[in-house]
């Protein structure tokens, strides 16, 4: 991925080029164009209620 490091156990990794910077109060929001992506197989996690959780079928 363009020679950039990524987390080995992450299900997805991407690199992007910043195309726009927007000032939002005390923060700067960077808008990027994805240039490269790596997708792996596995069960996704979500973060909520101070912890990570696996998604379950309804």
Convert the pLDDT of each residue in 25-56 to its tens digit: 999 999 999 999 989 888 888 899 899 888 88
- Give the per-residue pLDDT at 56: 80
Interval 4-12 mean pLDDT: 83
Residue 1 has pLDDT above 70, yes or no: no
Beta strands per DSSP E along 1-58? 12-24, 27-39, 45-48, 51-54
* Confidence category of residue 6, pLDDT binned at 50, 70, 90: confident
| Interatomic CA distance for residues 55 and 22, integer angstroms | 33
**What pLDDT score was predicted for residue 44?**
81
Let me know: does 31 contact 20? Beta carbons within 8 Å: yes
């Amino acid at each position: 991925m363009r020679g950039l490091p990524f987390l080995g156990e992450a299900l997805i990794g991407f690199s992007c080029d910043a195309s726009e910077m927007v000032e939002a109060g005390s923060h700067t929001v960077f808008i990027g164009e994805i240039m490269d992506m790596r997708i792996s197989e596995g069960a996704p996690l979500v973060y909520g209620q101070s912890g990570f959780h696996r998604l379950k079928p309804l």
